[in-house]
Chains A and B, each alone.
Chain A
């Protein structure tokens, strides 16, 4: 049984009649595309719309403080950054899979490094821009209606502190474990291809 032809004969006895028909496959594909891409497109469209709304509100509203303008622009900028990051990820999703296994492993490693970069740099920039922007934007109403806006302002800052110092490190650790497992696996596969 060490003859390759014998093994090929066994190999081709595998039953493939349980596979879906081409029509069923097309239905699955349409469903999949709708689900997978909807969230990314929604994120891009909503963050860009929000940014556009913020900017238009700044220039059509009755703001007196410069801090309101700066804050609004910073938040709009963070919205544009979110849209750009998601568009980049969407582009990767559409990327042609036509590369050899060797190139593909290298491509996955770059994607992994991009994910690490996103967690360590991009996400920090987005959150800082958004938070500083919000604080500056809300400064004007805080000064004008300090009694009840003070409560809103403080509650939001407490919420952001919890998200930043408790939720984010936990989520980062969980994702980092996954990424480390992926890195080890890629190293192993790269070594096999040497």
Chain B
């Protein structure tokens, strides 16, 4: 049981940020963290160290994200309003909120890939989590980064 607690203490904050990146909703992200660690607890005995434990946990978390239909329903169908630059200040909280809003406009898998990238996972590990080749992940990260940069420029944020 100590092992579980170690894993929870180490990975829960990371998983929370990734889920928050996917959902843009703190309560929903907390629920997904809970579901993730229920799965971890359930399967910990069967985990045979074939993959890194972090890869295993991030796979579980991102699969729970993909399964969450309620999240899909709440995602914005339209782009951010163009006058947002006039209303957003540059405090750290609002920079973070703006980053989440930009990520929320991306497609599901792009949200997962950029969240893992921002969390600091190596691209080879992201590839293992998502199920794509490393080269494919590199291309996707580059594209998502471009998209985010465009959004930041379009809304005139944080210059």
Taking the nearest CB of chain A, how far is it from the CB of B39, in angstroms? 5
27 pairs of residues in contact across A and B, judged by CB atoms under 8 Å: A1-B149, A1-B157, A2-B145, A2-B148, A2-B149, A2-B152, A2-B153, A4-B118, A7-B148, A10-B92, A11-B17, A13-B96, A14-B20, A16-B17, A22-B5, A22-B8, A26-B4, A26-B41, A28-B38, A32-B34, A97-B64, A98-B59, A100-B128, A101-B63, A104-B67, A181-B69, A188-B108
Say if the beta carbon of A166 comes within 8 Å of chain B. no
Roughly how many angstroms separate A10 CA and B9 CA in the complex, as a whole number? 22
Task: Identify which of B33, B37, B43, B153 contacts A98 (C-beta below 8 A).
Answer: B43
Minimum-distance CB pairs A-B, first 8? A102-B131, A100-B131, A2-B149, A16-B13, A11-B118, A22-B5, A192-B109, A104-B63
Contacts of A96 in B (CB 8 A): 43, 46
Q: Give residues in A with beta carbon < 8 Å to B.
A: 1-2, 4, 7-8, 10-14, 16, 18-20, 22-23, 25-26, 28-29, 32-33, 94, 96-105, 108, 181-182, 185, 188-189, 192-193
Query: Are the CB atoms of A22 and B66 closer together than 8 Å?
Result: no
Interface of B (DSSP majority class): helix
Interface size of B by CB at 8 A reads 61
From A7, A8, A13, A99, contact of B92 by CB (8 A): A13
